[in-house]
Amino acid sequence: MRYFPTARLILLVVLSVSLPAPTVAAQASDVDSTRAADANGARSTALRILPVLGSAPETGFVGGATALRVSSPIADSMTRASTEQVYVAYTAKQQLRAFVSTDRWSEGNRWGLNAQVEYQRFPQPFFGIGIDAPKSAEEWYEARSLIAGVAVLRHLTRAFYGQLGLRYTRTTIRDVEAGGVIGRGEMAGARGGTVSQIVTGLAWDSRDNLFAPAKGAYVLATAAHGGSVSGSDYRFGHYVADARRYWRVGRGVLAGQAYLEATSGEAPFDQMALLGSSSAMRGYVRGRYRDHDLVAGQVEYRMPVSGRLGAAAFIGAGTVAPTISQLGSSTLLPTFGGGARWLLLPKQRTTIRVDYAKGKSSSGFYVAFNEAF
């Protein structure tokens, strides 16, 4: 799931409203779910509308809303839940982010479909490339982007899945600082352009739940390539290796993740590996450090507190470098923190999380659906 983009959220108001799904034909069994007869049999469906209010130095006041719909077969505990989400956020500085997404699974998880269309109009900082990029080099620019992605997953054998997809981004760069690196056009992507890539991948997924796993493993390897043949203005590759493992420990769950990201060829500066997000390297503004390659790892312990309320604590580290071979000698940046969890939909184990994280000379609050990884 996607996250609320403010890096330093200081005010959160979440109001939850349960509404019947449009296809519901029977009376709801409780306030969280409804039974609907469809081609695949009865389904449990829940819809939540969540307004969020916030403030951050780079955005001013933020007002937004998101609607999340989750459905799953009532009699089939093996088939994964399908989700749809609509999200809109607007700020006092006329920044806008909006997207529509869907993640659907067929009976027995034989086929999966993930798709998202997003529009962003967000001024953002650029500090340079490399782990030694100084804060004093900060310059601002505005990127207006149309982003679309679709991926089809096919169950192969045991817990193996194959993936084939398309990733498309059309970006316009505006309001650059005069005399800045971006304004001088010294980097690939400084004038914007189109990125279009074919994405292939292979995954091992034995998690017991997509939103809040308590056991199992998830290992993903993807390769994306694009050039003039695919309609891209830039010829480069993008590679990801993501390994996660989950164990029940005491009353809670211990989760671990190792993550590697790499780019090759003429990668635009905004398509390089970016350190910092609500899911990995929390505590750093996204893009504070960027380079061709990135490695990161984190461990998190999650446990129930009372009723639907839970808590989590995490620690991790990561770095960026121009080549994979240089990652081992690059400065390692720490991250640690904790947060609260609220179980929004118990049947699907969908949660809302609020995290506070500290990094090296930086910190941040994050609000998101579901666990970080």
Question: Which residue in the block uniquely carries the two structure tokens 């529509």?
Answer: 100
In a domain, 344, yes or no: yes
∠23-49-357 over CA atoms, to 5°?
135
The answer to whether position 292 is within a domain reads: yes
Region 16-24: what's the mean pLDDT? 31
Considering only the C-alpha atoms of the chain, give the largest distance between any 2 of them, rounded to a whole number of Å.
Answer: 64
Secondary structure of residue 170 in the 3-state scheme: strand
Number of separate domains in the chain: 1
- Which residue, among 120, 118, 107, has the nearest Cα to 149 in the 3D structure? 118
The continuous run of DSSP H or E covering 248 comes out as: strand 236-249
Dihedral in degrees, nearest 10, Cα atoms 205, 210, 212, 216: -20
Q: Would you give the distance in Å from CA 54 to the centre of its chain? A: 19
Is the CB of residue 353 less than 8 Å from the CB of residue 371?
Answer: yes
Q: Would residue 285 count as lying in a domain? A: yes
Q: For 172-223, write each residue's pLDDT tens digit.
A: 999 999 889 999 988 999 999 999 999 999 999 999 998 899 999 999 999 9
- What is the spatial distance between Cα 226 and Cα 167, in angstroms, rounded to a whole number? 9
Name the nearest CA neighbour of 289 among 338, 327, 243, 239.
327
| pLDDT in the model for residue 53 | 59
User: Per mean pLDDT, which range of 32-36, 128-132, 365-369 is the poorest?
Assistant: 32-36
What percent of the chain has pLDDT above 70?
86
Domain membership of residue 314 (yes or no) is yes
pLDDT value at 277 more than 70? yes
**For position 178, what pLDDT does the model report?**
86
Number of C-beta neighbours around residue 207 at 10 A: 19
In a domain, residue 220? The reply is: yes
Decide: helix, strand or coil at residue 328.
helix
CATH number at residue 307: 2.40.160.50
Judged by phi (left if over 0) then psi (alpha if -120 to 50, else beta), residue 108 lies in left
Residue 268 lies in a domain: yes
- The answer as to whether 235 is a domain residue is yes
61, part of any domain? no
Domain limits at 114? Answer: 100-369
pLDDT of residue 35: 42
Model confidence over 148-159: pLDDT tens digits? 999 999 999 999
